[in-house]
């Protein structure tokens, strides 16, 4: 689980150094960039295993970088953890639909951040090791894990790795209600920090992408979420 290459894109010098120091102590290879353009260039040339991306940067902001990374086939699958400044709502990030795999609000503890890094990396590697999972079709929604593909009413829709796992997990078990904590543990890995709000953020983004099919992901008030078993909405 060590030796993976982490790219840190952060303009605050002290924070950048603290992150690099602590990640190296955990045996990660670390490269750093202090501007958006350098960060994007480092992502292209270094092909990191994960990017820690500050939202507010002096030139290209984190949203733009995230969008550009997702558009380039060679690096589009790189997990991204977005560092959002104090007071900035994660909703803003989700609203732009740029596809970060996780969001960590500042101020954060370095220990917590490293736990998130490991959780996101492990998710990626366990996905690669798992036997191919079966495609699921629910009404107008088709999910094919082998191809990492979701079609809504026949049209392909892009989901981040995290959103994909959540949607596939719920859709594979229609009618069953899962608490936020359970979803975090089962879908996002045991080391995921249990911030229930994060699940809500991902669910909101999933619903937005499902468009008119959004109601298949149901909120069970005071409990959690489930995928509707009300029967197909078409087909
Ligand atoms: Ca900043």
**What is the distance in A from the centroid of ligand 1 to the CA of 13?**
10
> Fold for domain 5-125?
Rossmann fold (3.40.50)
List, as one string, the DSSP characters of 7-76: EEE-S-HHHHHHHHHHHHHTT-EEEEESSHHHHHHHHHHH--SEEEEES--SSS-HHHHHHHHHH-TTTT
Q: Which pLDDT value is given to residue 235?
A: 41
62 CA → ligand 1 middle, Å: 9
Averaged pLDDT for residues 29-38: 97
**Residue-level pLDDT at 191:** 44
- Round to whole Å and give the CA distance between 6 and 46: 10
3-state secondary structure at position 143? strand
Residue 34 has pLDDT above 60, yes or no: yes
User: Cα of 14 to ligand 1 centre, how many Å?
Assistant: 11
Sheet of 155-157, strand order: 136-138, 141-144, 149-152, 155-157
Q: Can you tell me the distance from the alpha carbon of 76 to that of 80, in angstroms, rounded to the nearest whole number? A: 10
CATH code: domain 136-234 is 1.10.10.10
How many Å apart are CA 201 and CA 216, to the nearest integer?
17
Q: Tell me the CA–centroid distance for residue 65 and ligand 1, in Å.
A: 13
Q: Copy the structure tokens of residue 24.
A: 């190296």
Residue 5: count of CB within 10 angstroms of its CB: 14
Q: Could you tell me the residue ranges of all domains in the chain?
A: 5-125, 136-234
> What is the predicted pLDDT for the residue at 127?
54
Q: CA-to-CA distance for 156 and 137, rounded, in angstroms?
A: 14
pLDDT > 70? residue 43: yes
Q: Return the percent helix, strand and coil in the chain, to nearest 5.
A: 45, 20, 35
Residues 107, 77 contacting (CB under 8 angstroms) = no
State the distance from the centre of ligand 1 to the C-alpha of 104, rounded, in angstroms.
Answer: 13
What's the 10 CA to ligand 1 centre distance in angstroms? 6
- b/e burial code for range 121-154 (CB count within 10 A of at least 16 → b): bbbbeeeeeeeeeeebebbbbbbbbeeeebebee
Cα–Cα distance for residue pair 94/117, rounded to 1 Å: 19
Cα of 12 to ligand 1 centre, how many Å?
Answer: 6
Tell me, what's the pLDDT at 189? 60
Q: What is the mean pLDDT of residues 126-145?
A: 76
116 alpha carbon to ligand 1 midpoint, in Å? 19
Distance 160 CA to ligand 1 centre (A): 23
Looking at residues 115-123, what average pLDDT do you find?
A: 86
- What are the pLDDT digits (tens) for 153-185? 999 999 988 889 899 989 988 888 888 877 877
Query: Cα of 22 to ligand 1 centre, how many Å?
Result: 19
What tens digit of pLDDT does each residue of 66-117 get? 889 988 888 888 899 988 875 565 555 554 556 778 878 888 899 989 998 9
Cα of 175 from ligand 1 centre, angstroms: 42
pLDDT of residue 36 exceeding 90, the answer is yes
* Alpha carbon of 35 to ligand 1 centroid (Å): 9
pLDDT tens, residue by residue, 173-222: 888 888 887 787 777 664 445 455 678 888 999 999 999 999 999 999 88
What's the pLDDT at 234? 44
User: What is the signed CA dihedral for 44, 48, 187, 163, rounded to 10 degrees?
Assistant: -10
Distance 193 CA to ligand 1 centre (A): 23
| Tokens 């920090």 sit on residue | 193
The whole-number pLDDT of residue 94 equals 55
Ligand 1 centroid–CA 57 distance in Å is 5
Contact 194, 133 (CB under 8 A): no
């Amino acid at each position: 689980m060590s030796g993976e290459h982490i790219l840190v894109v952060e303009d605050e010098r002290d924070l950048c150094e603290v992150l690099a120091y602590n990640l190296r102590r955990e045996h990660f290879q670390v490269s750093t960039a202090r501007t958006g353009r350098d960060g994007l260039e480092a992502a292209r040339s270094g092909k990191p295993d994960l990017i820690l991306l500050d939202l507010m940067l002096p030139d290209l902001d984190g949203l733009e970088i995230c969008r550009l990374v997702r558009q380039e086939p060679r690096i589009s699958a790189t997990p991204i953890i977005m560092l959002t400044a104090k007071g900035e709502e994660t909703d803003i990030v989700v609203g732009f639909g740029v596809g970060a795999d996780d969001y960590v609000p500042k101020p954060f503890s370095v220990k917590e951040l490293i736990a998130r890094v490991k959780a996101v990396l492990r998710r990626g590697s366990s996905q690669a090791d798992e036997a191919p999972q079966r495609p699921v079709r629910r009404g107008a929604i088709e999910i094919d894990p082998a191809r990492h593909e979701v079609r809504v009413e026949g049209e392909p829709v892009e989901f981040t790795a995290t959103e994909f796992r959540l949607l596939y997990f719920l859709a594979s078990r229609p009618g069953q209600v899962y608490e936020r904590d359970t979803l975090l543990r089962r879908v996002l890995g045991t080391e995921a920090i249990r911030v229930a709000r994060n699940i809500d953020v991902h669910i909101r983004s999933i619903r937005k992408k499902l468009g008119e099919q959004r109601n298949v992901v149901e909120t069970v008030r005071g409990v959690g979420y489930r995928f509707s078993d009300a029967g197909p909405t078409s087909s």
